[in-house]
Amino acid sequence: MPTFDLSTQTLRDLNSALHSIDAGKNDLAFEVVNPRGSHAVAVGIDQPVSVDVKGSVGYYCAGMNDGGTVTVHGSAGPGVAENMMSGTVVVEGDASQYAGATGRGGLLVIKGNAASRCGISMKGIDIVVHGNIGHMSAFMAQSGHLVVLGDAGDALGDSLYEAKLFVRGTVKSLGADCIEKELRPEHIAKLAELLDKAGVTDVKPEEFKRYGSARKLYNFNIDNADAY
C-alpha cells in the first residue's frame, strides 16, 4: 500500500498518483498520513481506488470522486465530496458546510454532524448523516436521498425539487415548498438499504419522517400569472 506523508510530500504528488492509475497494473489502496487540514485531498479520482486519510482535512476533500472509496479518519472542511459522481466517501468525524454539494451519484456518509447547506443542489447523490445537520440543508436539491439520524436546522429543503429527505429527529423549520410526506413501504425499503450501506444497525427505518417538495414553487400556476 503506497503511503503519502503530506508533512514531507506535496499534495500535487498525491493527487497526481491517484490520477495516473492503471487499474490493471497499479496498487489500488493508498494511505495518507499527516494531512494537517490540507485542502483538495484526493480530488478527481476516476478509478476504483481506496484512500485512507489518517487525520482531518480542509475544503473539497474527495471532490468530483468517480468510483473511489475515500475514508477520512477525522473531520472534513467545507465541500467534502462536492460534485461526486460515484463511489463512497466516509467522514468519521464532523463535516463543515455544503457537504455533498451538487453531488450526482455515489454515497456520502458523515458519522458526526454536518454544518449548514448539507446536500445543497444535490443531483442524485445519497447522503447519510449519523448526527445533526445545519440550516438550509438540501436547498434546491434535485434528486437523491438525504438521511439524517439526528436533527435538522432551519429551512430544510428550501426550494426543493425531487430529492427525498428523511429525518429521524426534529426539524427546526421547513423551507419554501418543503412539506412532510407519507412514509410508504418503498421508502422504508430504500431507507433500510441506505442505513445498511452506511453501517447503521441500531435504527429502524420506521423511526424516520419523510419530507419532499409540494411541487407548487417550480410549477407555473395560471392563477399567479400576475406575480411572474
Is 174 within 8 Å of 154 (Cβ atoms)? no
Q: Supply 14's cell numbers.
A: 498525491
So what's the pLDDT on residue 23? 66
Length of the chain: 228
Is 174 within 8 Å of 155 (Cβ atoms)? yes
So what's the pLDDT on residue 219? 73
Task: Map out the domains of the chain as residue ranges.
Answer: 3-218
* Residue 165, beta-bridge partner list: 146, 211
So what's the pLDDT on residue 135? 98
81-93 burial code (b ≥16 CB/10 A, e <16): bbbbbbbbbbbbb
**What span, in angstroms and rounded, lies between the C-alpha atoms of 178 and 29?**
41
Q: Supply 47's cell numbers.
A: 478509478
**Cβ neighbours, 10 Å, residue 73:** 17
Is 212 within 8 Å of 179 (Cβ atoms)? yes
**What span, in angstroms and rounded, lies between the C-alpha atoms of 28 and 182?**
43
The beta strand positions in 64-111, using DSSP E, are 66-72, 86-91, 107-110
**What span, in angstroms and rounded, lies between the C-alpha atoms of 3 and 43?**
17
| 3-218 fold | Pectate Lyase C-like (2.160.20)
So what's the pLDDT on residue 22? 77
Which residues of the chain have a pLDDT value below 50?
none
The Cα-based distances of 132 to 22, 104, 183, 207 in angstroms read 39, 22, 21, 15
The Cα-based distances of 191 to 76, 91, 114, 162, 184 in angstroms read 25, 20, 19, 16, 11
pTM of the predicted model over 0.85: yes
So what's the pLDDT on residue 227? 57
So what's the pLDDT on residue 225? 60
So what's the pLDDT on residue 216? 87
How does strand 143-148 pair with strand 123-129? Answer: parallel
